[in-house]
Amino acid sequence: MSDANARQQPSVSLLYNPRVRGFLYQAVLVAIVGFLAYEAVVNASTNMRARGIPTDFSFWDRVASFDINQTLIEYSAASTYGRAFFVGLLNTLLVAAVGVVLATFLGFFVGVARLSHNYVVQKLATIYVEVMRNTPLLLQLLFIYNAVLTPLPNPRNSISLGAGVFINNRGLVLPDPQFAPGAIWVLVAAIAGLLLAVAFRFYAHRDQEKTGRSYPVVWIGIGLVLGLPALVYLALGEPVTFAAPVLRGFNFQGGVRVLPEFVALVLGLVLYTAAFIAEIVRAGIRSVSHGQTEAAMALGLSRQQTLKLVVTPQAMRVIIPPLTNQYLALTKNSSLAVFIGYPDLVQVFAGTVLNQTGAAVQVIAITMSVYLVISLVTAAIMNSYNRRKALVER
C-alpha cells in the first residue's frame, strides 16, 4: 500500500478520456446539424424548382404593382419590391419609436403610482397593470380596432379633441404644419438648445464633483431645449403655422391624416408595454433599500436631492436592462400589425410581397434578419451601458 501507487494515473481506455469524449460529442452534434442543414437545403431547392418558386433575389428590383396606404418615403404601385421593403421597415420603425416614447412615460407614471401611498391611485394602477398583463396583446389590439375605433362616427360627425384634432372611424386628423422660409432656424435653435443643455449638464456634473455646488440642471435644460426655439420662433415672426383641417363634403380637407390602424397599433402597444414597464420601475425603485434614503436624509440632503442623487441612479441600474428588453419586445410585437392591416414590415414584406413573388425563403430570411439586427445592436449597446454602470466590486 504505497502512496506512489495510489497517486499514479490509472490507465483508462481512450473512450473515457474526457477530452476525447468531448471531441466525439461535438463531432456527432456537428454531423447531425450539418446533415439536417444539408437535407433542408437539398429538399428546399428541389421543392422550389418543382413548384416554380424563385431561388434568387431578382424579385427585389421588379415592379411591386400594389399600393400601400401609409408611406413615409415616395412610393407608388410602379415602385419596386425593394422600395416596398423600405416603406414597411420605416413604418415599423415609426410605430416602434412612437410606442417606445409613449410607453416609457406611461410606464413610469403607472409604476410610481403603484408605489403611491394614495389608496385610490395605487389601486387603480394595480388594476391597470394586472388587466393589461394578463390579457393577450392581440385581444387588446382587436378590441381597440374593432370595438373602439370602428364604431366611431364617420368623418362628417367627427369628434373634436380640440386644437384642430379630430377623430373619426377613418382615423385621426391633425393640423398640418406649414413651414415659412425661416422655419429651418427654429429647428437649428432646437438642436443648439439640446446641445447646450447636454454641455451644461456635463459642466454642472463636473463642477459638482469638484465643489459640491449643485445646479438646477433639469430646469435649465428644459429652458434651453424649449426656450431657445421659442425665442427664435417669436423673433422670426412665427414661421411655422398650423393649417387646421376643414370638413368639406364627406371628408376633411387639409390636415395630416393618421390611419386608424396606426392609432390602434400604437395605443395597443403602449397600453400593453406600459404595464410591464410599470412593474420594472416599481421593482427598481423598491430595490433601493430604505437605509439609503435614511442615510441620505441623515446627511442632510433634501427629499428632492435624495431622489435625484441617491435613489434614482441606483434604481436606474436595476431598471435599464429589463427596460431595454421591453423596448425590444415592443418592436417585435409591432409585427402584430398584420392582424389589423397596418402596413408594417411583416404585413407589407412577409405578407404581400411573399404572396406575390412566392419567394418564401428569401423574404422570411430578410424579414428575420431585420429584427435580428435591431435586437443585436440594442443588446450590444446595452452590454456596454451595463459595463459602464455596473457596481465596481473587488
* Shortest distance, position 323 Cβ to another protein, whole Å: 17
- Number of residues in contact with another protein under rule CB under 8 A: 56
Interface residue with another protein among 116, 178, 241, 384 (CB under 8 A) is: 116
* Residue 136 or 227 having the CB closest to another protein: 136
* Residue 278 or 354 having the CB closest to another protein: 354
Interface residue with another protein among 40, 195, 295, 299 (CB under 8 A) is: 40
Interface residue with another protein among 58, 150, 287, 384 (CB under 8 A) is: 150
For cell 409604476, the residue is 111
The reply on whether position 354 binds another protein by CB under 8 A is yes
The reply on whether position 364 binds another protein by CB under 8 A is yes
Stretch that binds another protein, among 96-104, 118-126, 259-267, 313-321 (CB under 8 A): 118-126
Stretch that binds another protein, among 6-14, 244-252, 293-301, 362-370 (CB under 8 A): 362-370
Report how far apart, in Å, the C-alpha atoms of 392 and of each of 108, 223, 286, 290 are. 27, 35, 21, 21
The reply on whether position 266 binds another protein by CB under 8 A is no
Stretch that binds another protein, among 2-10, 190-198, 216-224, 370-378 (CB under 8 A): 370-378
Stretch that binds another protein, among 45-53, 95-103, 189-197, 217-225 (CB under 8 A): 45-53
Stretch that binds another protein, among 227-235, 263-271, 282-290, 364-372 (CB under 8 A): 364-372
The reply on whether position 26 binds another protein by CB under 8 A is yes
For cell 424579414, the residue is 367
The 3-class secondary structure across the chain, one letter per residue, is CCHHHHHCCCCCCHHHCHHHHHHHHHHHHHHHHHHHHHHHHHHHHHHHHHHCCCCCCHHHHCECCCCCCCCCCCCCCCCEHHHHHHHHHHHHHHHHHHHHHHHHHHHHHHHHHHCCCCHHHHHHHHHHHHHHHCCCHHHHHHHHHHHHHCCCCCHHHCEEEECCEEEECCEEEECEEEECCCHHHHHHHHHHHHHHHHHHHHHHHHHHHHHCCCCCHHHHHHHHHHHHHHHHHHHCCCCEEEECCEEECCEEECCEEECHHHHHHHHHHHHHHHHHHHHHHHHHHHHCCHHHHHHHHHCCCCHHHHHHHHHHHHHHHHHHHHHHHHHHHHHHHHHHHHHHCCCCHHHHHHHHHHHHHCCHHHHHHHHHHHHHHHHHHHHHHHHHHHHHHCCCCC
* Residue 77 or 159 having the CB closest to another protein: 159
The reply on whether position 381 binds another protein by CB under 8 A is no
Interface residue with another protein among 117, 213, 387, 394 (CB under 8 A) is: 117
The reply on whether position 134 binds another protein by CB under 8 A is yes
Report how far apart, in Å, the C-alpha atoms of 111 and of each of 286, 308, 357 are. 11, 17, 47
The reply on whether position 178 binds another protein by CB under 8 A is no
Stretch that binds another protein, among 62-70, 299-307, 308-316, 333-341 (CB under 8 A): 333-341
The reply on whether position 133 binds another protein by CB under 8 A is yes
The reply on whether position 360 binds another protein by CB under 8 A is yes
The reply on whether position 20 binds another protein by CB under 8 A is no
Rounded distance between C-alpha atoms, residue 158 and residue 247, angstroms: 9
Report how far apart, in Å, the C-alpha atoms of 115 and of each of 207, 281, 313 are. 34, 10, 18
The reply on whether position 286 binds another protein by CB under 8 A is no
The reply on whether position 318 binds another protein by CB under 8 A is no
* Residue 139 or 234 having the CB closest to another protein: 139
* Residue 27 or 195 having the CB closest to another protein: 27
Burial class (CB in 10 A: 0-12, 13-18, 19+), 299: exposed
The reply on whether position 243 binds another protein by CB under 8 A is no
User: Residues interacting with another protein, by CB under 8 A?
Assistant: 22, 25-26, 29-30, 33, 39-40, 43-44, 46-48, 50, 53, 116-121, 124, 130-131, 133-140, 142-143, 146-147, 150-151, 332-333, 335-336, 338-339, 346, 350, 354, 360-361, 364, 367-368, 371-372, 375-376
